[in-house]
Amino acid sequence: MCLSIPSKIVEILPDNYAIVDTMGVKRKVSLDLMSEPVDIGDYVLIHVGYAMTKMREEDAVESLKVYEEIIKRLEQEGEEI
């Protein structure tokens, strides 16, 4: 139930709704629970038809950097990853 896939905002609608694209499927969602503004192109987490938060790309990029460093280090030590 709580599983929700980060979805991209593709259109802003009146009355605080938006259209999001989740892996190719477009749905109407409510922005009533968002306190920050959203733009076309932002990724948001949707739960039962409402956007809950924006995904923070910088934090995701930081995480990915950490994983790449771990892989690099292990491979240098001769581990098969």
Partner 1 sequence: MSKVDYLKDFRDAKRIKALSKLIEREVKKHINIMEVCGGHTHTIMRYGLNQILPPEIEFVHGPGCPVCIMPKERIDHAVALVQDDKNIVATLGDMIRVPGSKSSLQKERAKGKNVRMLYAPFDILKIAKENPDKNVIYFAIGFETTTPMTGALIEKVLQEKIKNIYFHINHVLVPPPIKAIMSSGEAKIDAFIGPAHVSVITGAKIYQEIVDLYKTPVVIAGFEPVDIMESVLWIVRQFNSGRIEVENQYRRAVTWEGNLKAQEVIYRYMEPRDTFRWRGIGDIPFSALKLKDEYSFLDAEVVFNDLLPNKPIDDHKLCICGDILKGIAKPYDCRVFGKSCTPQNPLGSCMVSSEGACSAYYRYGKLQLK
C-beta separation of 46 from 7 below 8 A:
yes
Count the site residues for partner 1 by CB under 8 A.
37
Distances (CA, A) of 15 to 3, 30, 31, 63: 26, 9, 9, 36
Site for partner 1 in 36-75 (CB under 8 A): 43, 45, 47-50, 52-53, 55-57, 59-64, 67, 70-71, 74
C-beta separation of 7 from 38 below 8 A:
no
Q: Kindly tell me which of 26 and 56 has the beta carbon lying closer to partner 1.
A: 56
Based on the number of CB atoms within 10 Å of its own CB, is 12 exposed (0-12), middle (13-18) or buried (19 or more)? middle
Q: Kindly tell me which of 11 and 28 has the beta carbon lying closer to partner 1.
A: 28
List residues binding partner 1 (CB under 8 A). Answer: 1-6, 8, 23, 29-30, 32-35, 43, 45, 47-50, 52-53, 55-57, 59-64, 67, 70-71, 74, 79, 81
